[in-house]
Amino acid sequence: MTRLLQEWLTRQAERSPNATAVVMGQERLTYGQLEILSNQIAHALRAAGCGRGDRVCLLLPKSPTTVASMLGILKADACYVPLDTASPAPRIAKIVDSAQPHVLLASTRGAATVQALLDRGEARGSFRIGWMDRGSSAGRPFGPVFTLDDVQRLPVATPSYGNASGDCAHILFTSGSTGTPKGVMITHAGVIRFVEWATDYFGLSATDRLSGHSPFHFDLSTFDLFGTFAVGAELHLVPPELNVLPHKFPGFIREAGLTQWFSVPSVLTLMAQLDVVRHDDLPTLRRLLWCGEVFPTRALRYWMSRLPHVTFTNLYGPTEATIASSYYSVERCPDDDRAPIPIGRPCAGEDLLVLDETLHPVPVGEIGDLYIRGVGLSPGYWREPDKTDAAFLRNPFGTDPDDRIYRTGDLAKVGPDGLVYFVGRADTQIKSRGYRIELGEIEAALLTLRDIREAAVVALPTDGFEGTAIGCAYVARSAAAVTPLALRRELAKLLPAYMLPSRWQAHERLPRNTNGKIDRRRIREEWTPDEAPALGPS
């Protein structure tokens, strides 16, 4: 039995050291090479003082070296915290301040962000820096603790571990309603249990070639990584630049000979809109999986009609439940573009509960709040016990005080077929392009702009591939012209691109309800296409 995530790699390195483990462009690491490099990184981190429970932040681009760094952190008994290198420095700083890492691993491409972090008084001297680039440490900024060249002079032996399976393997920071990202703690055991179920259900083996589309700060990547290593398969990391060239995705799949593709549905929907998949195309592909948002049935029908040899599976689950908690493999191509696709049935060891406001089950066909319980639940939010207690409740149907249910914030219903169907969000949190976004975080950032007096951010349904657009209704501080383009440019300094509103609407005063609160429902209902110019993807 696997107790810790890194043990899968060591086992495969012993069995097939020359087999390819991870590929990106011209960079390729075998299982033996990945084992050695991750061991050396672990020794470097331990020499820098890392131990059980310490956090190590990753400010690194997607690459095989970054994969080795993540595994090295686990082998040092520490916990990795992947950062979005495309995010503005102020948002990265909030995550670093919360995580309080012992070491930050970075590349010189991120030197400006590191400088911005160290310019903050509270961050200066609070963590050490490892530069995961080749070259001498001489002249490196900010007093590095080591470089990649230093790492590769260290011992190659696998270190002994002190971690337990219930210890935190990584912390994934998601959008927070107060404007501060919140960290979801994910344990070794939680990931192992999902991967063991998934590799069995999907029949993964060493002959598979899996996609690595999602960025490492997104929970889908966890299955990409450890699903690969559990069976000794090949992981082919998808270059981020292909996201703006979606017509090239099929070519990537063909050239890599992928057998499995796993991504958010928006990528697949855009490929369908561009009509870039031929009939009986992608001959090596066996499985297509999606998770993170609703996959429009029209786009699913496009894929299924062209690839009859492929199995299509919908996975559902928030980060707090470790990758996914339910699944549904679509048995045949739907006849109607409006046919709903269920989120299905629970994965092994999980339960989906559709409950009313008194935490009682709702009748079949009625809408209720969706809760999850089982082996995949996170211990909670990093150093935020109040938020943890509000979201993770004691199971009202059990007697064990440690048995919890998680309030997803999603609305769902159970169909006559016994399957669970997603209905929508119950709060102001949305999914757009697979990213979970708290609209409150966007509002908090907007209200820091000098030209904004009031702002309300709402979710607007669209027919586009993103599914949900982000709309901003605002009141300017003065009569001087304030353009949406200028506001968006300023907001981009505070938030990542996927959180920027793409619809803008100027007001003299925002509408309010009888309680004096901003009436967001009215804003949504009164929004018209003429008042909704698109300014890039939300």
Q: Which CATH class is domain 238-425?
A: alpha beta
Tell me the pLDDT of the chain (538 aa) as tens digits: 789 999 999 999 999 999 999 999 999 999 999 999 999 999 999 999 999 999 999 999 999 999 999 999 999 999 999 999 989 999 999 999 999 999 999 998 888 898 888 887 555 568 899 999 876 554 555 666 899 999 999 999 999 999 999 999 999 998 876 678 899 999 999 999 999 999 999 999 999 999 999 999 999 999 999 999 999 999 999 999 998 888 999 999 999 999 999 999 888 988 998 899 999 999 999 999 999 888 889 899 999 999 999 999 999 999 999 999 999 999 999 998 888 999 999 999 999 999 999 999 999 999 999 999 999 999 999 999 999 999 999 999 988 988 999 999 999 999 999 999 998 878 777 877 778 788 888 988 898 888 888 889 999 887 665 668 899 999 898 766 789 999 999 999 999 999 999 999 999 888 876 555 788 889 988 886 544 455 665 4
Burial class (CB in 10 A: 0-12, 13-18, 19+), 524: middle
Q: Which residues have a Cβ under 8 Å from the Cβ of 393 and sit 6 or more positions away?
A: 359, 371, 404, 405, 406, 407
Q: What are the residue ranges spanned by the domains of the chain?
A: 28-186, 238-425, 429-531
Question: Exposed/middle/buried for 271, CB within 10 Å: 0-12, 13-18, 19+?
Answer: buried
Q: Out of 3.30.70.1140, 3.30.300.30, 3.30.565.60, 3.40.50.1010, which CATH number does the structure's domain 429-531 have?
A: 3.30.300.30
Q: Which two tokens stand for residue 56?
A: 């190590």
Same fold, 28-186 and 238-425: yes
Task: Give the tokens for residue 423.
Answer: 């209905």
Beta bridge partners of 299: none
What sign results for the dihedral spanned by CA atoms 129, 4, 37, 262? negative
pLDDT in tens, 182-215: 999 999 999 999 999 999 999 999 999 999 999 9
- How many CB atoms are located within 10 Å of the residue 207 CB? 11
Does the pTM surpass 0.95? The reply is: no
Q: What is the DSSP string of 139-198?
A: T-TT--SEEHHHHTTS--SPPP----TTSEEEEEEE--TTSS-EEEEEEHHHHHHHHHHH
Residues 361 and 221: their CA atoms lie apart, in Å, by: 33
pLDDT tens for 44-79 read 999 999 999 999 999 999 999 999 999 999 999 999
CATH number corresponding to 28-186: 3.40.50.980
